[in-house]
A and B are shown apart, each in its own frame.
Chain A
Amino acid sequence: GNSVTQMEGPVTLSEEAFLTINCTYTATGYPSLFWYVQYPGEGLQLLLKATKADDKGSNKGFEATYRKETTSFHLEKGSVQVSDSAVYFCAQGGSEKLVFGKGMKLTVNP
């Protein structure tokens, strides 16, 4: 069945460090891919998404590119801030439901 595998962390970085969170998926067909972010004490919110191969999603300095050949959707940010501390979820859109990865907790220290 469809699944998502992502780095689980937790990860601690210093402010202005480079961030990569790996995400790979298995699916029949070509799902849409998403990154959701959950800030402390809040619900999830969409960070970015891509709906077809080679699409790049971007938001708030974060980027991810839909790579069909490697079935990946890695999240990157060139310079993280303290306010980026959150849990990050990779997800794929199947025919009826989203399938989420296990989430990765990121802490950014000043």
Chain B
Amino acid sequence: DTAVSQTPKYLVTQMGNDKSIKCEQNLGHDTMYWYKQDSKKFLKIMFSYNNKELIINETVPNRFSPKSPDKAHLNLHINSLELGDSAVYFCASSLRPEGRQETQYFGPGTRLLVL
């Protein structure tokens, strides 16, 4: 009964490849997020979707493309992977999009290593 799940947990791939990370939440939330955490633990938001619509799109290379087939799922596709994409990617969800008060629930993370 995991609240926010991500697959895969680990991803090791070569530079130039294309890969996808999947996220699912069973909390009935309307809003989902992708974050990137670098090797120094710094956490930066990448995207947010509310009810399948993109509402936050930070300064992220257009090699990164999120897709939300329904409000319980938010996937992240990365084209032409680069060494600098190596990081831990976290999916999160919240009941509503307002960051002011909403608690976000995080998945366990996907550890991406680009060789």
| Chain A residues at the B interface, C-beta cutoff of 8 Å | 31-32, 34, 36, 38, 41-46, 49, 51, 87, 89, 93-98, 100, 102-103, 105
B101 within 8 A of A: yes
Which chain A positions have C-beta within 8 A of B44?
100
Query: How many residues of B are counted as interface, with CB atoms below 8 angstroms from the partner's CB atoms?
Result: 26
Cβ contact within 8 Å between A32 and B41: no
Question: B12 at the A/B interface (Cβ < 8 Å)?
Answer: no
Inside 8 A of B56's CB, which chain A residues have their CB?
96-97
The 5 closest A-B pairs by CB, nearest first: A43-B106, A103-B41, A93-B100, A93-B99, A44-B106
Task: State the CA gap A69–B106 with chains docked (Å).
Answer: 31
Please give the distance in Å from A47's CB to the nearest CB on chain B.
11
B48 lies within 8 A of chain A by Cβ: yes
B104 CB within 8 Å of chain A: yes
Closest CB-CB distance, A28 to chain B, in whole Å?
Answer: 12
Could you tell me the dominant secondary structure of chain A's interface residues?
strand
Does B1 have its Cβ within 8 Å of any Cβ on chain A? no
Q: Does B18 contact A (CB under 8 A)?
A: no
* B40: nearest chain-A partner, CB-CB: A102
Provide the residues of chain B in CB contact with A100, threshold 8 Å: 42-44
Q: Write the nearest CB–CB distance from B23 to chain A, whole angstroms.
A: 11
* Complex-state Cα separation, A97 to B4, whole angstroms: 18
Query: Is the pair B4, A96 in contact by a Cβ cutoff of 8 Å?
Result: no
Q: CA A38 – CA B40 in complex, angstroms? A: 13
Residue from B40, B42, B108 within 8 A of A43 (CB atoms): B108
Query: What's the least CB distance linking B78 to chain A, in Å?
Result: 19
| Pairwise interchain contact A95-B109, C-beta atoms closer than 8 A | no
Please report the C-alpha to C-alpha distance between residue A45 and residue B107 in the assembled complex, in whole angstroms. 9
Is there a chain A Cβ closer than 8 Å to B83's Cβ?
A: no
Checking B98, B104, B108 against A96 with a beta-carbon cut-off of 8 angstroms, the contacting residue is: B98
Shortest distance from the beta carbon of A110 to any chain B beta carbon, whole Å:
24
CB pair A43–B101 under 8 Å, yes or no, is no
For residue B14, CB closer than 8 A to chain A, the reply is no
